[in-house]
Structure 1
């Protein structure tokens, strides 16, 4: 009888940790990333199709009526015009998104990440409602209304919510698991994007082209409620805790994250102070990498529309496949790659480094970059073993970042050889297998700075990524428009590959601070001799 009485209690005690893990702060953040990305993605493919249709309507307002077989909108002039209008809207969106990053950072410091996330999902509700109204206007007027609606991205949009989620993840996750969590977060975001692409395309084709915009407005409103109720609270004071430098005010505080991208003053073990450019070259390499690959999803869809006659459902399926594979890769494969890679780097470094630390100033191999993180200054021991393991792991993250960008560029360039529609689906399947550069770069970045600067450098890196996206939309939008008008749009893929190689070369110059070095504030030791790091 006693055994019967105690059995349910034992079962309950085993189930408690499972329930706790299911509703843990990290799980709630991952679910928030999924539903918010899902909501934002309902309209992505329908927008491409509506731009093509509205440009076609505007074209035939000034051109003779179409006579002949086939689709009247299948003309090089219309394809080029749609690409140009999309580039204009994309540039406006990215400009507003870049400014939104500064506003979001200010919001997090003022009201905390939780309320900042709610704000980032509230204003898009208004934006997609205006976009739905633009469909009734149509033609040139509809294009203007659609493009002007992006002004609301200043107050809330994809840039802001991703920054908030990454900041919360960085605050609630142990350093050793941070890169994997960044990957899982991007993975669930990609799964949400995949489902949003698919559902949005199907709803647009089977219900109406306006229906995805209505669905997005309702879904974003629910996301705002979820953010207020279930997202874990992070004290805004913790975002700058431990920062003993002078506090910036006014515009200096607003644009402060830009300073995080510059060089760092590091004091070496021999007392010398040097300039370290690891973050600068990391940011420059990430910028070039996004410049090379950031236009790829739009480019693949536009190329499939012009070359193989893809429509809303086809492009939705194409992007759904791409994002689904990317999400699965980042959630389940990427964390294991990081785990095994760090173990490999740790083993190889342990074999090669029983010598004294004479080689810490001038490392020559990626595996040699194993400094003690500068966050150790706020912790107890001077020489604990765990920080070395953390930096060895980050060294693999940097190694992985370089190779993933190179492979991404090669696969993107291979799209130029597509001769049939199913080849585009193959490209959409293969591209995600080279993903992981974004979470890897964030993992490297958070290892290069003190704990008090994590939120600031994440904001700065997100700014770099969106600035690169802005640049690539303008640059490759113009290139694709010009080449499409000449009937040679496939050459755009080769341009992407060339810039990706440049990005890899820049990342070769990014390295971790010298071992056992300390970060020196810019205002400290101004009279100390200083030189560039070897």
Structure 2
């Protein structure tokens, strides 16, 4: 039977087999290719836009009659007031972006549930194309008007943007791979996204250096149009989940708030065997993931600001540095991460088998009142899934230790080294997603991915607000490097919370 908008995904095993099919241009590879293209597109202006804010603040600074025109041979914009103003304006922009990204996740979840994944991901590039047109205008007018235009147009991200596209990509990946392959697939997906990020950083920075401030934004507009066409024509159709028939008006109204309802996966759960203790693994995982994002998400921006303000990096320099960072992360996630997970799980299974063999067979007799076997079945469905949790704890702790060392940086080579070495401790985000999916039933995997995305976005909002203000304040007193100490302490806090997370020891009552 041909799939239609009214065909439920869970009721179409033939379509499920088609999605899991391997091949040169399989759904799995198409999702990876779309992710690479979208990541390149969204990162193309990442470095130029920070440079644009510096140029705009420089223009405003010298408009003031109290500041005579610069007549030296160095960088006219290397002034403390300009650097502080740039950091402040970037913080406002990123705060608006992350706030809009939160609402974008709500809109995207509604679209996935009502329109299907393909239409949802198409919207994530259509609206940013319109935003880029306004940013092209901002680069032409410059000054305070250009700053305000770039800041306010971030609100267009509510309708489509990077947060929604990553949620859609992760949801696609959860559908096109087998359950045992999900953790590794999430890592590969993030690694491919990092390849796109590196590509965007390199060519975005070079286009700014060679063709001017407006060029990266003009090229990005063309890439967004191409991305919209590719996702619309090449990604597989997956019908809206959870609706056997066309949604009613009441269903539509309820589904607008479904993204907030999905947070219920983080509530403490009861065990099906009747024990009084509740399972707190999922809320603790959410709390630990929140603090891990707080510890790591602002570091790339701080590296760029430190490199620009202290060592005079140009957009091209920053582009190469961040592309190196992204390539290092991509290499780790696509090549090392899946192998670490596979071998770690195998070792974990061997250790469990050895422990089981060493346990005496003649134990206590079984209770006659024992609950059914289905109620006592362990919730983790993947052998060795406990290793994913161990990796998650170690990853954020090592990441925090490496970030803390940046407080001692005193030369450009230290920033370059940090950009290349820090990604070798990545893998926290895909590991967290993999662990969470081991704690929920298959029919709630979409809600689980949406919920963890909301937690991560909320953490990004707080990170930008907190560390943006902190970085600006420390820059004003010439101690910008101290901000990395706070990042390291936050990572230690996250590792402490994750140390308390356990996988469920039995079947849970799902509400």
- Give TM-score scaled by structure 2 length: 0.88
Structure 2 match to 1:130: 134
Structure 2 match to 1:526: none
Q: CA deviation at 1:392?
A: 4.3
Structure 2 match to 1:469: 460
SS in 2 for 1:237: coil
**2:346 corresponds to 1:351:** no
Query: How far apart, in 2, do the equivalents of 1:252 and 1:191 lie?
Result: 34
1:267 and 1:274 in contact (8 A); partners too? no
Q: CA deviation at 1:60?
A: 2.0
1:91 and 1:473 in contact (8 A); partners too? yes
**2:148 corresponds to 1:144:** yes
Q: Against the structure 1 CA distance between its residues 240 and 345, is the aligned structure 2 distance closer, same or farther, given a 3 Å change threshold?
A: farther
Please point out which of 320, 324, 334 is paired with 2:323: 320
Alignment of 1:60-459 (within 5 A): 60-62=62-64, 63-65=66-68, 66-237=70-241, 249=254, 252-268=257-273, 271-354=274-357, 355=359, 382=374, 390-459=381-450
2:380 and 2:503 in contact (8 A); partners too? no
SS in 2 for 1:519: coil
1:239 and 1:455 in contact (8 A); partners too? no
Q: CA deviation at 1:313?
A: 0.7
1:257 and 1:457 in contact (8 A); partners too? yes
SS in 2 for 1:510: coil
Query: How far apart, in 1, do the equivalents of 2:510 and 2:376 lie?
Result: 21
Query: How far apart, in 2, do the equivalents of 1:334 and 1:238 lie?
Result: 33
Query: 1:346-384 CA distances to partner (integer Å, 9 max, x unpaired)?
Result: 111111135499x9xxxxxxxxxxxxxxxxx9xxx9599
Query: 1:470-515 CA distances to partner (integer Å, 9 max, x unpaired)?
Result: 1111111111100001011010111110111001001112111123
SS in 2 for 1:490: helix
Aligned CA RMSD, in angstroms, stands at: 2.4
Q: Against the structure 1 CA distance between its residues 467 and 433, is the aligned structure 2 distance closer, same or farther, given a 3 Å change threshold?
A: same
Q: CA deviation at 1:111?
A: 0.6
1:239 and 1:452 in contact (8 A); partners too? no
Query: How far apart, in 1, do the equivalents of 2:376 and 2:206 lie?
Result: 56
Q: CA deviation at 1:280?
A: 0.7
Query: How far apart, in 1, do the equivalents of 2:62 and 2:83 lie?
Result: 14
Q: Against the structure 1 CA distance between its residues 356 and 214, is the aligned structure 2 distance closer, same or farther, given a 3 Å change threshold?
A: farther
| Equivalent residue pairs, number | 474
Please point out which of 42, 45, 58 is paired with 2:44: 42
Query: 1:110-148 CA distances to partner (integer Å, 9 max, x unpaired)?
Result: 010011001111101011111111011211111000001
Query: How far apart, in 2, do the equivalents of 1:458 and 1:404 lie?
Result: 20
Query: How far apart, in 1, do the equivalents of 2:392 and 2:180 lie?
Result: 17
Query: How far apart, in 1, do the equivalents of 2:286 and 2:22 lie?
Result: 37
Q: CA deviation at 1:520?
A: 3.8
Structure 2 match to 1:29: 31
Query: 1:37-62 CA distances to partner (integer Å, 9 max, x unpaired)?
Result: 00111100000100111111112222
1:123 and 1:152 in contact (8 A); partners too? yes
- Give TM-score scaled by structure 1 length: 0.85
Q: Against the structure 1 CA distance between its residues 252 and 383, is the aligned structure 2 distance closer, same or farther, given a 3 Å change threshold?
A: closer
1:267 and 1:273 in contact (8 A); partners too? no
Q: Against the structure 1 CA distance between its residues 94 and 175, is the aligned structure 2 distance closer, same or farther, given a 3 Å change threshold?
A: same
Query: 1:281-335 CA distances to partner (integer Å, 9 max, x unpaired)?
Result: 1111111011011100000000011111111011001000000111111111100
Query: How far apart, in 2, do the equivalents of 1:263 and 1:87 lie?
Result: 35
Query: How far apart, in 1, do the equivalents of 2:54 and 2:380 lie?
Result: 52
Please point out which of 478, 481, 492 is paired with 1:487: 478
